C-alpha cells in the first residue's frame, strides 16, 4: 500500500474518531439528563458498551496508527504534524483517564446529576483535543497528497 493510501486511511480514521467524540459529548452524555434515576445504571452500561465498540476501539487503533507513522517516518509526511496530532491524542487520552473515567465509574452505580454536569464540562477538553488532532491530520493530508 502506498504512503498516500495510508495517509488517506489516517484522515478517514481521524474524522471517524472526531465524529465519535462529538457523538459521545453532544448525544450520549447530554442525553443522560433525561434518563430517570432508576433506569440510569442500565442505560449507562448499555451506552458505555456501545461507545467502547464504536468509538474507543477505533481511537485506540488511531493512536497505534499514529505511533507507527511516527516510527516509520515516511518521507512525504510532515513529522511535526504527526507529533502534534499525537500530542493532541495524548491530551485526549489524559483527559479521559484523569477526569472522565473516575466520573464514569461513579455514575455507573447511580445517577448523579452534578457529576454528569461536571463530566459534560470536562469532556470539552477531550473534544477540543480531538478537533485539534483533526486540524493537524487534515493539514498533513493536504501537504502529503
Write the DSSP string, 51-63.
HIIIIIHHHHHHH
What number is the average pLDDT over the span 8-20?
95
Span 29-47, average pLDDT: 94
| % of the chain exceeding 70 in pLDDT | 100
Residue 24 clears pLDDT 90, i.e. is over it: yes
pLDDT of residue 17 exceeding 90: yes
Domain borders along the chain are: 3-144
For residue 23, count other CB atoms closer than 10 A to its CB: 14
Residue 1 has pLDDT above 90, yes or no: no
Mean predicted lDDT score pLDDT of the chain: 94
Q: Residue 80 and residue 5: Cα distance in Å, rounded?
A: 20
Contact (Cβ atoms closer than 8 angstroms) between residue 10 and residue 66: yes
Amino acid at each position: 500500500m502506498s504512503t498516500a493510501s495510508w495517509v488517506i486511511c489516517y484522515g478517514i480514521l481521524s474524522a471517524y474518531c472526531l465524529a465519535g467524540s462529538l457523538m459521545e459529548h453532544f448525544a450520549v452524555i447530554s442525553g443522560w439528563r433525561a434518563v430517570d434515576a432508576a433506569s440510569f445504571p442500565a442505560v449507562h452500561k448499555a451506552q458505555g458498551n456501545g461507545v467502547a465498540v464504536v468509538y474507543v476501539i477505533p481511537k485506540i487503533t488511531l493512536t497505534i496508527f499514529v505511533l507507527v507513522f511516527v516510527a516509520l517516518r515516511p518521507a512525504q509526511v510532515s513529522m511535526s504534524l504527526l507529533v502534534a496530532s499525537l500530542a493532541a491524542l495524548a491530551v485526549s487520552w489524559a483527559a479521559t483517564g484523569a477526569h472522565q473515567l473516575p466520573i464514569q465509574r461513579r455514575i455507573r452505580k447511580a445517577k448523579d446529576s452534578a457529576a454528569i454536569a461536571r463530566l459534560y464540562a470536562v469532556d470539552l477538553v477531550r473534544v477540543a483535543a480531538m478537533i485539534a488532532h483533526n486540524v493537524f491530520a487534515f493539514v498533513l493530508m493536504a501537504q502529503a497528497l
